[in-house]
Amino acid sequence: MTEGFYEKDLLEKQIDKKIAFKLFGYIKPYRFLLGLTIFLLLLTAGLEILGPYLVKIAIDRYITPGKFEGLVYVVVLYGLVILFEFIIQYFQVYFTEYMGQKIMYDMRMNIFAHINKMPMSFFDKNPTGRIMTRVTTDVQTLNEMLSSGTVTLFGDVFMIMGITVMMLSLNWKLSLITFSVLILLAIATFIFRSKVRIAFRIIRAKISNINSFLHEAISGINTAKIFNRQEENDKDFKILNRQYLDIYLKTIFYYAVFFPVVILISTMAIALIIWYGGQKVIQNYLTLGTLVAFIQYIEKFFHPISDLSEKFGIFQEAIAASERIFKLLEQKPSIISPASPVKVREIKGNIKFDRVWFAYNNRNYVLKDISFKLETGRSIAFVGATGSGKTSIINLLNRFYDIQKGKIFLDDIDIKRFDLQDLRKHIGVVMQDVFLFSGTILDNIRLGNKDISFDEVIKASKYVNAHKFIERLPGKYDYEVKERGQTLSVGQRQLIAFARALVFNPEILLVLDEATSSIDSLTKIMKNRTTIIIAHRLSTIKNVDKIIVLSHGRIVEEGTHKKLLKLKGIYHKLYRFQYQLQS
């Protein structure tokens, strides 16, 4: 087993101030609700503490002296207490949940919106699965802490405080004796937590190992099949799985020791009260009712403590999840709209590249010193071998990536001065691998833009010759596209992409031309639009106003079809060669 890849992240996951502060930012809009919930918790704790006190009064004032009428009065009071407790608790639980769900909703929206703002390079670096986990699983995990966690914490603390006050007011000597046992409890809890904290850190690392392994094994399942690796995979997986089991069994051991110890300590407290308090009762310094109330309080006292320990693991998970979420939110998108973008009512569509240098990473330039001009309504084609950098041109005008050197102008304005949305609205893209969303054909053409009417969609589809095949599909425009459009042919998908580009009616069009796409449809949508086309075949090139030949990121030849032929360079050679073949 190679260990290197797997997460060895054993860093301390304490809730640091930064995270707490950020989490509070999400709670803030609901602070009144939180206040109300805490108030309800306070009431619940008060009512719960009132119970044993009522029993004490019943014993001392009515049962021991034998006054039944008074007892009825206490019983009615007790009944009211539990009824109120019921009602208050219901609302407390509901409000807590409401708050937690609202916060999760906000958080998901924030992360989703943030992801949408990230530049393309972010998606190159982060696999889909990882980004998804932030929006889904991590938020879910965090909820445990935000809703039930914080509230339980408050509730349990109130309870402990309330009982302490109550006990002290009943009999301070007896209380102090009870509290003396608490030192033992503090020691036990301290040891337990430090052991469990370490164990949980290892557990997190182990489960992350299991998940990475699984993800890889499932993604590469066909490779495993072809290479007969199933059995070895089973063995590898068993080892990881076993490690996880072993460390978990260890925490189970800690818990199994801790809980009996808590009970033993609480029984010791009861024993002390019987021993000491019993003497006082015999000496008539203490009523029997107080003794009974004390015993009941001790039981209530220890419950929140074990409750908090039980939730310890959940807290640890949640802290780790929130760290991951905030780390994502902290990443600032590198390509953003300027603070005060230019306001342009109409785009004419002339484009200028001025000594543009571009690299996806570092200084590894894929485009070197590229300059060209394109007038409104004209078209330009880029020709070049694989790796010549021609595809990268398409990613620059709409600022999917920012260039390192030089400037790009649209209508003589630097594209960086436009609002991103404004800029992209005017640029239509027809891509190589057509991405279709699950949903109907109609949705895929107008992309959720309800301003585009059904008639417009049909008109566009007819224009690019997509209408015919769509009409033949079961359900026609309501035909459900399976994930990524696997049920449609490549050609059909391209026609949908054409219709999509046309229906949005952009002034500028960027096209990645493929041998499979229909030339007629392509020529149609290029009409009256400034077009940059990355060409893979001569038939497309013949239809453009200007041709640029790229090689290793540089422009080596440019001009019209005629001019380039006269030049007798690469283009000429190419054309002649093709012509010979075709005739």
Partner 1 sequence: MVSILYIFFTNALALLIPWILKIVIDSIENFPESTNLLKYSLFLIGIAAVQGVFRFYMRKILVGTSREIEYSIRTDFFSHLQKLDSSFFTNTRTGSIMALMTNDLEAVRNFLGPGLLNLFNTIFVFVTTLTVMFLINVKLSLYSLIAFPILPLLVNKLGNMLHQRFKKSQEQYAVLSAKTQESIAGIKVIKSFTQEENEKSTFSELNMEYLKRNLSLARVRGAFWPSMIFVGGIGTLVVLLVGGRQVINGTLTIGQFVQFSAYIGSITWPLISVGWVINLVQRGSVSMGRINNIFRIKPEVTSPKKQPHVKTLKGNISFDHIFFRYELNKNTARLIKANFIDFKDTSFIDDKNNWILKDISFDIEAGMQVGIVGFTGSGKSTIANLIPRLYDPQKGEILIDGLNIKSYSLEVLRLNIGYVSQEPFLFSKSIKENILFGKEEYLSNLGEIGTMREIIEVSKISHLHEDVMQFPKRYETLIGERGVTLSGGQKQRLAIARALLSHPGILILDDSFSSVDTNTEELIFEDLKKNITGITTIIISHRISTIKNSDLIIVIDDGKINAIGKHVELLRKSGIYQSLYHKQQLSEELEEEV
Distance of CA 328 to CAs 24, 129, 321, 494, Å? 17, 14, 11, 34
What's the DSSP call for residue 131?
H
Residues 316-345, interacting with partner 1 (CB under 8 A): none
Q: Which of 180, 194, 219, 404 binds partner 1 (CB under 8 A)?
A: 219
| Count of residues touching partner 1 (by CB under 8 A) | 162
Q: Taking CB under 8 A as the criterion, which residues in 483-502 touch partner 1?
A: 483-484, 486-487, 489-491, 500
Q: How many CB atoms within 10 Å of residue 332?
A: 9
Closer residue to partner 1 (CB): 109 or 161:
109
Site residues (CB under 8 A) for partner 1, limited to 388-417: 388, 398, 400
Name the minimum Å distance from CB 298 to partner 1. 12
CA-CA distance, 498 to 377, in Å (whole number)?
18
Minimum distance of partner 1 from residue 479's CB (angstroms): 9
Binding-site member from 39, 172, 227, 360 for partner 1 (CB under 8 A): 227
Reading the block at residue 3, the tokens are: 């260990």
SS (H, E, C) 444-487: HHHCCCCCCCHHHHHHHHHHCCCHHHHHHCCCHHHCEECHHHCC
CB-CB contact of 366 with 386 (8 Å) = no
**Which residues in 272-291 contact partner 1 (CB under 8 A)?**
272, 274-275, 278-279, 281-282, 288, 291
| 8 A C-beta contact, residue 492 and residue 445 | no
Indicate which single residue of 22, 26, 153, 211 sits in contact with partner 1 (rule: CB under 8 A): 211
Residue selected from 221, 336, 342, 519 as contacting partner 1 according to rule CB under 8 A: 221
Beta carbons within 8 Å of 175's beta carbon, 6+ residues apart: 164, 167, 168
Burial bucket for residue 329 (CB in 10 Å: 0-12, 13-18, 19+): middle
Residues with Cβ within 8 Å of residue 155, at least 6 apart in sequence = 41, 44, 45, 304
What are the residues facing 384 on neighbouring strands? 550
Residues 435-454, one symbol each (x = binds partner 1 by CB under 8 A, - = not), give: x-xx--------xxx-----
**What's the half-sphere exposure (Cβ side, CA atoms, 13 Å) at 340?**
0
Q: Binding pattern to partner 1, positions 529-558, x when CB under 8 A?
A: -------xxx----------x-xx---x--
Q: Does 113 bind partner 1 (CB under 8 A)?
A: yes
User: Contact region for partner 1 (CB under 8 A) — 12-20, 167-175, 294-302, 525-533?
Assistant: 294-302
> CB neighbours of 87 closer than 8 A, spacing ≥ 6?
none
Hey, which residues between 51 and 110 contact partner 1 (CB under 8 A)?
51, 54-55, 58-59, 62-64, 66-68, 71-72, 74-75, 78-79, 81-83, 85-87, 89-91, 93-94, 97-98, 101-102, 104-105, 108-109
Site for partner 1 in 39-58 (CB under 8 A): 51, 54-55, 58
**Contact by Cβ (8 Å): 321, 191:** no
Instruction: From 30-38, 113-121, 325-333, 343-351, give the range in contact with partner 1 by CB under 8 A.
Output: 113-121
Stretch of 157-165, 270-278, 351-359, 405-413 contacting partner 1, by CB under 8 A = 270-278
By CB under 8 A, name the one of 14, 180, 194, 230 that touches partner 1. Answer: 230
Q: How far is the CB of 419 from partner 1 (least distance, A)?
A: 10
Tokens of 497: 């992409």
- Please identify, using beta-carbon distances, which residue of 98 and 326 lies nearer to partner 1: 98
With respect to partner 1, which residue has the nearer C-beta, 162 or 384? 384
Alpha helices in 62-171 (DSSP H): 68-117, 120-125, 128-133, 139-144, 150-170
If binding is defined by CB under 8 A, does position 264 make contact with partner 1? yes
Q: Per CB under 8 A, does 228 bind partner 1?
A: yes
The residue (of 15 and 248) whose beta carbon lies closer to partner 1 is 248
Residue closer to partner 1 (CB basis): 23 or 509: 509
- Residues 6 or more apart from 263 whose CB is under 8 A from it? 302
Min dist CB 127 to partner 1, Å, is 9
Q: How far is the CB of 254 from partner 1 (least distance, A)?
A: 10
Do 175 and 166 touch, CB atoms closer than 8 A? no
